[in-house]
Amino acid sequence: MKTPKLDILFEDQRIIVVNKPAGMIVEENPFEKVNVQALVQEHLNKNTKRTKPPYLGVIHRLDRVTSGVILFAKKKSLLKEINEDFREQKVYKKYWALLSKPFENDKGEIKAYIRKDQKSKSSIVTDHKTRASKACGLKYNLLKNDRKMFMYEIEPGEGKFHQIRVLLSHAGSPILGDIKYGDKGFLKNKVALHAAEIEIKHRKLKYAAPLPLDEYWDNFR
C-alpha cells in the first residue's frame, strides 16, 4: 500500500490541522502502520532538531470511512483545554453528506436515542431512553442536488459514536455508500460523509477542509 501524502491545512506551535482521507484510521495501533497519527508524527519528527520525538496529542477522531478536518495538539496543555471544550459541547462541527434519497423538507432536525453495540461496532436507535442509550440529534440543510444525489449540510448536536450515520439512516436516508447503515456499499472503507468545518469560537479557532477528490463528489464542486 502506497503511503498517502499528508494534507496539512494549518500548523503553528500549538496545533496541527489535517484533512483526513476516507479509508484511513486516525490513531496508531499495532495492526495498521498507515494511519493519520503516524503520518503527523513522522512530519513532526522530520521538522525538529531534537532527539526526542515531539509531543503529539489526538484531540478528536473521525470514523475510518469518513474524510475531513481533524485536529492534533502539539502541546499537552492545549490537548487538555480542547478536550474540556468537547466535554462542554463548545466545539461546533459541520459535515457534508451525500444521500441518494432526499428528505421531504429541505431543512429539518432529527432527534432520537442511540446506544452503542459493542458486538457489531455500530450504534442502534432506541424508541425511548434506556440506561445504555443517550439522547442526540442533528440538523440538516439541503445545499445542492444533481437529481440523483443530494448534498446536505449536517450539524450534529453532540459527538456520539456513528451519530450522523445512524440518525440519517433511521430517518430513511442513509449516507451514500454506508453499507453498515442500510445503503449500498460501492467503495471499500469509504462513505460520502465529510467533516467540512470545525470551530471553537471562544478560542478563535476555525478550520475547513475542501471536498474530497473521490468521484462521487465530482458533481458538487
Active-site residue set: 63
Residue 87 Ramachandran class (φ > 0 left, ψ -120 to 50 alpha, else beta) = alpha
For CA atoms 157, 163, 169, 173, the dihedral sign is: positive
Q: Which cell goes with 60?
A: 478528536
Strands 67-73 and 193-200: parallel
